[in-house]
Amino acid sequence: MNKLDSTTRSRIIHLLCEGMSIRAITRTTGTSKNTVAKLLEDTGRICADYHDEHVRNVASKRVQVDEIWSFTYAKQKNIAAAKAAPEGAGDTWTWTAIDADSKLVISWFVGGRDGACANVFMNDVAARLTNRVQLTSDGHKAYLEAVEGAFGADVDYAQLVKMYGNAPETFKGRYSPAECTGIKKTVIEGEPDEAHISTSYVERQNLTMRMHMRRFTRLTNGFSKKVEAHANAVALHFMYYNFCRIHKTLRMSPAMAAGVSDRLWDVKDIVALIEAKEVAEVPKIRGSYKKRVFA
């Protein structure tokens, strides 16, 4: 992987960010599967570190949180019969928090859908904000304790629960979605503005994730085989989404709209982070070996 030039690296990373599978990239660029996978691994870790360090002190007013389902290696119901299933195999949930105004993804977390993961996620969200916010989530019960532990009383928090009925007769089929028949808004803490109790933006971000990451595409064999690779792909996606991609409505990147960055990034800037990391980790060359002489 170290023999790849900057242009090739940029091309591979850009293709990954636009939803192309690893095998398709190998056919397109002529690089090996292991090379692309190793580049994704290195890039994902660097992007996660950069986000963790720089996406801080976000002056947000309204934050929406949600969790999106995927699976690693096999679906949870098939894990018992799966051969040599790695650690972390089964249902994989990606928790996301988005600023409703700048569309910046403030935080994400890859794990389960239990209370422990909710606590880790919400604590990270709270640590990245500078002021009191209005927070909206779905009706997942794990949020109740997690939000209380992360924010205490310093939050205006409400839950929005969607109620579903059967799919219309004209759309019924094996994969037909249920029809949303109504919503219920419940104030949990503080005094949230009812007009802004919504999860629309974070749910739209779920669609963006499925469109830009092959691992989230339904009914394909492009799913993640290891949870580490899944997390690296998520980190790369959000780096690209926050810093490199112009939001159609804002006409700038979410990072620029939130004041996290003063310019629009290019994929080459992500490659520059990788190369800077490689230079910093170059091992020192040992001096010549002097044979010991024993009297």
Query: What is the bridge-based pairing of β-strands 62-72 and 90-99?
Result: antiparallel
Residue 216 is assigned to a structural domain of this protein: yes
Instruction: Please write down the long-range contacts of 250-253, taking CB distance under 8 Å and 24 or more positions apart.
Output: 250/102, 250/103
pLDDT in tens, 134-152: 999 999 999 999 999 999 9
Residue 293 is assigned to a structural domain of this protein: no
Residue 288 is assigned to a structural domain of this protein: no
Give residue for tokens 């096999």: 74
Residue 32: count other Cβ atoms within 10 Å of its Cβ. Answer: 11
Residue 204 is assigned to a structural domain of this protein: yes
In this prediction, residue 91 carries a pLDDT of 86
pLDDT in tens, 80-117: 877 878 878 888 999 999 999 999 999 999 999 999 99
DSSP state of 197: -
Does the structure show a pLDDT above 80 at 288?
no
Domain that holds residue 41: 6-280
Structure tokens belonging to residue 39: 């580049």
Q: Which of 105, 54, 64 is nearest to 257 (CA)?
A: 105
pLDDT in tens, 212-227: 998 888 777 888 888 8
CATH number at residue 176: 3.30.420.10
**Distance separating alpha carbons of residues 226 and 41, to the nearest angstrom:** 11
Residue 138 is assigned to a structural domain of this protein: yes
Residue pair 66/138 in contact by the 8 Å Cβ criterion: yes
Q: Whole-model pTM? A: 0.87
Q: Side chain identity at 125, as an amino acid letter?
A: V
Mean pLDDT is lowest, of 142-146, 161-165, 202-206, for 161-165
In this prediction, residue 293 carries a pLDDT of 52
Residue 154 is assigned to a structural domain of this protein: yes
**Distance separating alpha carbons of residues 145 and 160, to the nearest angstrom:** 16
DSSP state of 286: P
The domain total for the chain is 1
Residue 1 is assigned to a structural domain of this protein: no
Residue 291 is assigned to a structural domain of this protein: no
